[in-house]
Amino acid sequence: MHPLVHRVITGDKRALARALTLIENDEAERRALLEGFYPYSGRAMVVGMTGSPGAGKSTLVDQVIALVRSKGLSVGVVAVDPSSPFTGGALLGDRVRMLRHSTDAGVYIRSVGSRGSLGGLGQATRDMLYALEAYGCDVILLETVGVGQSELDVMTVADTVVLVLTPGAGDAIQTAKAGIMEIADVFVVNKSELPGADALVRELQLMLHDKRSFREDWKNPIIRTNAVHGDGIADLWLAVEQHHRHMEEGGHLLARRRQRHREEALRLVEAAFARYLSERAEQDADWRRALLDNLADNPYQTAEKILEDLPWIRLRSGNDSVL
């Protein structure tokens, strides 16, 4: 058992900070930590909050922290900023506001940059949740900026995904293209005092009306908020709680967690295979000749030759080639 595990479980905040840094950057330590934290997982409510830059997510997260704390629940926040290089755990820009909670023992806030995270941003963030759950967080808020593939990857671990939109700026249409509309469970129209808020709500209603099927039989609510004034935060949290109950009662939460477990295990096996492959490509003289020196073969031909040396890779469908 990694020595930090016991300290994190017993609520040592500095040990948690250290563990998160190791999980982000140190492959050797990560495994021991995750194995220690794993038995404590599956207890927290994980809420993802995403949307375009400027939508007011950080202010909203700040308000949600206050609300969750007022219910006596502890909260962990992971704020992901893929556009930024290493943050080393520092908070960026707007998120500094959240620091007012940092003296509260029931709140832990962590910022994650994209570059240099071991296994990529999605993997690092997912693994950090295990630490926060073991630390005892009742609620984990996962904030991401933007709508790229990294954000979609990150959101696969959330029990509930909240998409924050604002009036104007063609937000709804832009994000719809990016695929986040499909995975959002709760829609928020923030800055709802701005002109265009009604139009955005109607646009969302129409879009939802046209939806043929709802993921996990959940009808997405649309919540109006004004994060700066704290309006609508209670409604938002109620919608999140309702979604969570819906997921639990329908067995969907367990299904999502099984899916996550399966994918994490398969990614580890794939990574082990990739290491085996590149190590053998370095060391195997026959492979080097076929791989490196033979530009006359196209990459498919080269891959075929390698696969002939790895005859256990055969799909059951009985194709001659697995490429």
Q: Is 42 in the site for its own copies (CB under 8 A)?
A: yes
Out of 14, 215, 258, 289, the only residue in the binding site for its own copies (CB under 8 A) is 258
Using CB under 8 A, pick the residue from 11, 53, 54, 85 that binds its own copies: 85
- Under a CB-based contact definition with an 8 Å cutoff, are residues 151 and 55 in contact? no
Residue 323 touching its own copies (CB under 8 A): yes
Residue 18 found at the interface with its own copies (CB under 8 A): no
> Does residue 103 belong to the site contacting its own copies (CB under 8 A)?
no
Binding mask 215-234 for its own copies (x = CB under 8 A): --------------------
Q: Which H or E run contains 188? A: strand 186-189
Contact pick of 35, 182, 193, 248 for its own copies (by CB under 8 A):
35
Among 274, 289, 318, 320, binds its own copies (CB under 8 A): 274
- Total residues in contact with its own copies, by rule CB under 8 A: 60
Q: Phi/psi zone of residue 217: left (φ > 0), alpha (ψ -120 to 50 degrees), beta?
A: left
Binding residue (CB under 8 A) for its own copies from 182, 193, 198, 279: 279
Place of tokens 């900026």: 145
278 binding its own copies? (CB under 8 A): yes
Alpha carbon 269 to its chain's center? 21
**CB under 8 A: which stretch of 103-111, 155-163, 227-235, 273-281 binds its own copies?**
273-281
* Amino acid residing at 240: V
Tokens of 245: 């109950």
Cβ neighbours of 263 (radius 10 Å): 13
The answer to whether the CB of 51 falls within 8 A of the CB of 175 is yes
The verdict on 286 binding its own copies (CB under 8 A) reads: no
Cα separation, 242 vs 9, whole angstroms = 29
The single-letter DSSP state of residue 168 is: S
Residues found in the chain: 323
User: Distance between CA atoms of 283 and 269, rounded to whole angstroms?
Assistant: 21
Interacting residues toward its own copies by CB under 8 A: 31, 34-35, 38-39, 42, 82-83, 85-86, 114-115, 148-149, 177-179, 257-258, 261-262, 264-266, 268-281, 283, 291-293, 295, 298-303, 306-307, 310, 312-317, 322-323
